[in-house]
A = this chain, B = another copy of it.
Amino acid sequence: MMELTRKGDYAIRGIIYLAGQPLDKISLLSDIAAAVDVPQTFLAKIFQQFSKSGIVRSYRGTGGGFMLARAPEQITLLEVVEAVEGPITPNRCVVAPGECDRDGFCTVHPVWEQVKRQIRQLLSGITLKDLANNENNPISATSKTVF
């Protein structure tokens, strides 16, 4: 349960690649797709969503492509995930107040609220800078700072 979809996975791979490129470089979709091993056509749709949510800027026509709209340290993993997967909602109950008619008496309700809070807090504390190009032993480096 609680699985990220493949779309979300691909999205993260793709944007981490962008975060590892020079900031002012416009990257081709085809390059990104090849580098992170994702079907280009599918990645295209994902980056359209990124573009709409303002995480990346897109340029059409010859010489076009994508680049980050902000610096990597100003884009959180939470933003990235929610841009393509929608808001984090462990249960339908907690998408919005009043959504669930059992709201008033359901004792599990606050549990899901808490789960939601914890995940959002964790993901919002991680930026693309943390995730990109940690050349020297990325995992342990990341692990040390984050956990």
Chain A residues at the B interface, C-beta cutoff of 8 Å:
1-5, 8-9, 12-13, 16, 77, 81-82, 85-93, 102, 105, 107-112, 114-115, 118-119, 122-123, 126, 130-132, 134, 138-139, 142-143, 146-147
Contact = CB atoms under 8 A, between A and B. Distances in A.
Contact of A132 (B8, B107, B130, B132): B107
A139 B2 contact: no
- Chain A at the B interface: mostly helix, strand, loop or mixed? helix
Number of copies: 2
B5 A146 contact: no
Contact of A91 (B9, B111, B112, B119): B9
Contacts of A5: 1
A142 B108 CA distance: 9
A89 B130 contact: no
A26 B124 CA distance: 47
Contacts of A118: 118-119, 122
B119 A131 contact: no
Nearest to A119: B115
B146 A12 contact: no
Contact of A1 (B85, B126, B143): B85
